[in-house]
Amino acid sequence: QAQLVQSESEMKKPGASVKISCKASGYSFTTHAIHWVRQVPGQRPEWMGWLDVRTGDTKYSDNLQGRVSITRNTSATTAYLDLSSLRLEDTAVYFCARHWGMGRLDNWGQGTLVTVSS
């Protein structure tokens, strides 16, 4: 059974960076893209970017250009989200999700809370 397990909550100061991991199991890791979505509590989810796991190609939201990087380690079946120059408004729950195809995000990680506070 496919599963995505994310790293634990993080607390960071403004200006710092955070790296979140997303460990995949139960399916062929390189067959499906991974997307990252974040959600401020009480607000709608916000798409951040996606990674073609097979090729390493990425596409990011314009809102985050220059601050976000999505990478993977295929031998560890793990995808990573790096977000730099953190701001208070980056406080959110961050999710990774598997892209099955034809648009659908069919399997989600449990979420990682990132709190940015001085």
Partner 1 sequence: DIVMTQSPLSLPVTPGEPASISCRSSQSLQRSDGYKFLDWYLQKAGQSPQLLIYLGSTRAPGVPDRFSGSGSGTDFTLNITRVEAEDVGVYYCMQPLQTPYTFGQGTKLEIK
Question: Cβ closer to partner 1: 14 or 56?
Answer: 56
Among 47, 67, 91, 115, binds partner 1 (CB under 8 A): 47
62 makes contact with partner 1 (CB under 8 A)? yes
Q: Is 61 in the site for partner 1 (CB under 8 A)?
A: yes
Question: Nearer to partner 1 by C-beta: 27 or 108?
Answer: 108
User: Should residue 35 be labelled a site residue for partner 1 when binding is judged by CB under 8 A?
Assistant: yes
Beta partners for residue 46, in sequence order: 38
Burial 19-49 (b: 16+ CB within 10 A, else e): ebbbbbeebebeebbbbbbbeeeeeeeeebb
